[in-house]
Amino acid sequence: MSQKSPSFQWYPRDHLTSARAAQMTSCEEGAYLRAICYCWLNGHIPSDIELLRRLIGKGCSEKTAKVVANMFVPMPGDETKLIHERLEAEREKQKAWRDKSLAAGKKSAELRKIKATQSAVINEAPA
């Protein structure tokens, strides 16, 4: 039951205080944000600059795509793909929360079943 989360936490302070993001032009920053969104949805972006440029769209230049690519790291085992370390940490955090919630839900269901069985036994006992 591994479903992809449609969203991720965005921390404005982290972005606005990032020295790397602060050095970007507005155009580069917009392209970066689009690349982050694609990366979240697909798990990666292409490391090929031409493919990345076309993925970002909106007239993204090769220079801008290179700046954006430098904000990502190669995917372990597949250098044709780039990942974002902050997004990967968020994925892990969300997965841990889903796993914890699933386990708690199963435990709660088991306890309700036991209580229902005990209640039925008590109600059926002769008075």
**Tens of pLDDT, residues 38-77:** 999 999 999 999 999 999 999 999 999 999 999 999 999 9
Q: What pLDDT, on the 0 to 100 scale, is given for residue 109? A: 82
At residue 1, does pLDDT exceed 50?
Answer: no
- Stated as kind and residue range, the H or E segment containing 109 is helix 85-124
82 by Cβ neighbours in 10 Å (0-12 / 13-18 / 19+) ranks as buried
- How much is the pTM? 0.76
